[in-house]
């Protein structure tokens, strides 16, 4: 494929869906990977060899991720993979990469309580984002919460954590609803009516994927004012806000390690290159950023190790740091998760996330923490210049 070197390229299996309910976000994650590979190859590849993505489309069907991971490893001889958004998809890939001793990068926030020696986790676990979000909401909006989520594992566990944190701050949960992935837009009706009746101060949403767009629009259309009673989320990102539209999105809140509106040289370069590659259509999101820096960290480790060997790569990756667009990140050698930044942003009238608060330094991941502490000093927020 490339004339620079006659030797074969390094293969990286990429497991993100182009179709199905979680395609919006997974497409942006795939772009993060492809951008990183583009930059790596433009700089001469790794040890003179290009990095080649091996792409496939699991169509947002969990079992397909497992089947395709197996195929990538067995038929395409891939040793390192990156991919998955939903936990149910990751759970399908996990036994495959463990059995085949492949290395798997998972660039998505999730509910924690997992460790596999074959996985490097690049997204936030609940201790990194839930506490900052809860303390910001309690301080600025009130203590009466309403939970709405998609019906799968991540929302239920996120809500358990959030409920525990809120209890410490005197918060109250007025309702907790889970919506099926195959439900039509009419399923929002009863929920929105209940919200109108109970009048919470904040909606905590763990609705994910395509459903997010429909839910935010329905909330706005039902006459709710997000500037007064916002929908707060750990997952809703730039790509989804773009689809929701500025009018319905304004005022809503998300906590994440990365927003594209943050400053910094690394982020400026990332956004410039991202836009040059993919145009303005597919927006950079925190999950895309995680996919990007994980791919860059993989390539950096590969250049040190010189071969696609899971055990050597893991040794090299654990404890390593990277100047990611969000700021410096580090892979925690204790648990294979990543020290990440934590930011709270509100959508402005132009549909752009503006960071309101951020933690001072990257937060250590603690995937097995049952109940995060609302008053944890390490999670203290500071105001940002733009807020």
The angle that helices 153-168 and 126-140 make with each other, rounded to 10 degrees, is: 50
Task: Rank residues 201 and 366 by Cβ distance to other proteins and give the closer one.
Answer: 366
**Residue 51 contacts residue 76 (beta carbons within 8 Å):** no
Beta strand spans in the chain (E): 10-15, 51-56, 80-83, 103-106, 119-121, 144-150, 172-179, 202-206, 231-233, 253-256, 321-324, 327-331, 338-339, 343-347, 353-359, 381-383
Give the C-alpha separation, 38 to 385, whole Å.
33
167 or 276: CB nearest other proteins: 167
**Would strands 144-150 and 172-179 be described as parallel, antiparallel, or unpaired?**
parallel
Whose Cβ is closer to other proteins: residue 98's or residue 376's?
98
Q: Which is nearer to other proteins, 92 or 366 (CB)?
A: 366
Which residue, 111 or 366, is less far from other proteins as judged by CB? 366
CB of 168 to other proteins, least distance (A): 12
What span, in angstroms and rounded, lies between the C-alpha atoms of 22 and 15?
12
User: Minimum distance from CB of 381 to other proteins (Å)?
Assistant: 24
* Three-state SS sequence of 99-143: HCCCEEEECCCCCCCCCCCCEEECCCCHHHHHHHHHHHHHHHCCC
- For residue 337, the minimal CB distance to other proteins (Å) is 9
261/371 with CB nearer other proteins: 371
Query: Which residues are near other proteins by CB under 8 A?
Result: 98, 113-117, 334-335, 366-371
- Closest approach, Cβ 68 to other proteins, in A, equals 22
In the numeric block, which tokens belong to residue 309? Answer: 């060997």
Least distance from C-beta 13 to other proteins, angstroms? 22
Shortest gap between Cβ of 368 and other proteins (angstroms)?
A: 5
């Amino acid at each position: 494929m490339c004339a620079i070197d006659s030797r074969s390229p390094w293969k990286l299996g990429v497991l993100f869906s182009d179709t199905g309910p979680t395609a919006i976000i997974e497409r942006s994650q795939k772009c993060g990977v492809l951008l990183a590979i583009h930059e790596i190859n433009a700089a001469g590849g790794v040890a003179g060899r290009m990095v080649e993505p091996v792409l496939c489309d699991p169509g947002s069907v969990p079992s397909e991720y497992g089947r395709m991971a197996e195929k990538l490893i067995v038929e395409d001889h891939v040793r390192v993979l990156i991919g998955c958004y939903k936990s149910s998809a990751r759970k399908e890939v996990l036994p495959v990469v463990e059995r085949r001793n492949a290395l798997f990068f998972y660039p998505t926030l999730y509910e924690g309580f997992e460790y596999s020696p074959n996985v490097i986790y690049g997204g936030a676990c609940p201790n990194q984002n839930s506490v900052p979000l809860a303390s910001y909401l309690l301080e600025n909006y009130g203590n009466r919460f309403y939970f709405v989520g998609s019906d799968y594992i991540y929302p239920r566990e996120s809500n358990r954590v959030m409920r525990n944190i809120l209890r410490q701050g005197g918060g109250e949960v007025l309702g907790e609803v889970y919506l099926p992935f195959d439900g039509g837009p009419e399923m929002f009706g009863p929920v929105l009516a209940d919200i109108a009746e109970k009048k919470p101060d904040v909606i905590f949403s763990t609705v994910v994927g395509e459903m997010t767009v429909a839910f935010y629009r329905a909330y706005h259309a039902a006459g709710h004012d997000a500037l007064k009673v916002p929908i707060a989320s750990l997952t809703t990102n730039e790509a989804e806000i773009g689809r929701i539209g500025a009018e319905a999105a304004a005022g809503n809140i998300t906590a994440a390690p990365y927003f594209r509106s943050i400053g910094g040289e690394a982020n400026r370069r990332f956004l410039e290159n991202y836009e040059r590659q993919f145009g303005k259509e597919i927006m950079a999101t925190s999950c895309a950023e995680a996919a990007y820096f994980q791919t860059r960290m993989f390539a950096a480790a590969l250049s040190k190790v010189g071969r696609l060997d899971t055990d050597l790569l893991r040794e090299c990756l654990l404890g390593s740091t990277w100047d990611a667009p969000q700021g410096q990140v580090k892979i925690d050698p204790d648990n294979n998760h990543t020290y990440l930044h934590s930011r709270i942003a509100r959508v402005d009238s132009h549909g752009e996330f503006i960071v309101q608060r951020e933690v001072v330094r990257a937060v250590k991941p603690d995937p097995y923490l049952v109940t995060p502490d609302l008053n944890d000093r390490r999670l203290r927020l500071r105001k940002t210049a733009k807020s």
